[in-house]
Chain A
């Protein structure tokens, strides 16, 4: 349950931003690309990585707990 809640918002939100940037990237000026898009892309990718690490940690704990029972 906890994991599915994390999925719904925390994963889809940064992922949607990454996909959004990819969608517009051909239409950006060099300046927009360097000053805004790349920084946003990096920030969103890091956020996604952070959430995925939490999910992996939580599911590993779940498996460990299950094994102990």
Chain B
């Protein structure tokens, strides 16, 4: 991987938002393996992530779609009420074309990944982040 990308990878503060603790555990580990992230915060309740947006000021949010409190779409809507420049990568088990299309309506959504996340997919999302 080229040097500038590596620098970007290491400076990012990242939120992992998924109602399944295990998925956050897996994704955090994958980030560590790939050398991505300065601080990684994980949330099983998306509402808590929203509350901490302005405090932690994440650069990047990995967002699940299917969650009980509020779903990923509602999360994206509510993000508009906060002062944040965070980019979002949707990480979902949904292969639905409708969801992929809908994701394109949000400027801050830079990538759409189908679970499971892999180290290769993490490289992809960093490239997507860097090219913005």
User: A residues bordering B, Cβ < 8 Å?
Assistant: 8-9, 12-13, 16-17, 19-21, 23-24, 27-28, 36, 40, 43-44
Residue pair A17, B116 in contact (C-beta under 8 Å): yes
Known: A12-B93, A17-B115, A21-B26. 16 other contacts (CB 8 A): A8-B94, A9-B66, A9-B94, A12-B115, A13-B20, A16-B23, A16-B93, A19-B116, A20-B26, A21-B22, A23-B119, A24-B29, A24-B33, A27-B29, A28-B29, A36-B22
For B32, the chain A residues whose CB sits under 8 A away are 27
Of chain A, the residue at the smallest CB distance from B66 is: A9
For A20, the chain B residues whose CB sits under 8 A away are 22-23, 26-27, 30, 115-117
Residue pair B25, A23 in contact (C-beta under 8 Å): no
Contacts A24-B33, A27-B33 given; indicate if A36 touches B95 (C-beta within 8 A).
no
For B33, the chain A residues whose CB sits under 8 A away are 24, 27
User: B residues bordering A, Cβ < 8 Å?
Assistant: 20, 22-23, 25-27, 29-30, 32-33, 66, 93-96, 115-119
Bound-state CA distance A16–B94 (Å) is 11
Which of B20, B26, B66 is in CB contact (< 8 Å) with A23? B26
| 19 A-B pairs with C-beta separation under 8 A | A8-B94, A9-B94, A13-B20, A13-B93, A13-B115, A16-B23, A16-B115, A16-B116, A20-B23, A20-B27, A20-B116, A21-B26, A23-B117, A23-B118, A24-B30, A27-B33, A28-B29, A36-B22, A40-B22
Residue pair A44, B22 in contact (C-beta under 8 Å): yes
Of chain B, the residue at the smallest CB distance from A37 is: B25
Residue pair A17, B30 in contact (C-beta under 8 Å): no
